[in-house]
């Protein structure tokens, strides 16, 4: 692989780092290039972002000390995610 092409494993690592503001500009650029050729990693990134956003928004109002979901809340989130994935 060339210096601007990364493996799927590296792409998912950068994706995770990117969500927490830990990825460098160069890493993000490599990730964007990888997404042009790899739709699976692009999909992973979308789903991962959705989960992070959903869980983060959920916990802002409901989680006081621990970020833990009860079974009922997990089912609500599963239903929401299924609806989002069908859009």
CA angle, 70 then 67 then 49, to 5°: 100
Is position 1 within any domain? no
Does the pTM surpass 0.85? The reply is no
Q: Tens digit of pLDDT for each residue in 36-56?
A: 999 999 999 988 888 887 777
Question: How is residue 19 written in tokens?
Answer: 């969500």
Number of domains in the chain: 1
Residue 35's domain spans which residues?
Answer: 8-86
Q: Angle, to 10 degrees, between the axis of helix 8-19 and the axis of helix 25-37? A: 130
Q: Tens digit of pLDDT for each residue in 18-41?
A: 888 899 999 999 999 999 999 999
Is position 3 within any domain? no
Rounded Cα–Cα distance for residues 14 and 38 (Å): 14
């Amino acid at each position: 692989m060339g210096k601007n092409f990364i493996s799927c494993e590296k792409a998912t690592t950068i994706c995770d780092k990117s969500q927490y503001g830990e990825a460098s500009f160069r890493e993000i650029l490599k990730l964007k290039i990888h997404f042009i050729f790899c739709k699976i990693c692009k999909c992973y990134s979308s789903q991962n972002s959705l989960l992070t956003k959903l869980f983060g928004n959920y916990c802002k109002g409901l989680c006081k000390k621990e970020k833990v979901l009860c079974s009922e809340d997990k089912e609500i989130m599963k239903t929401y995610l299924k609806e989002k994935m069908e859009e």
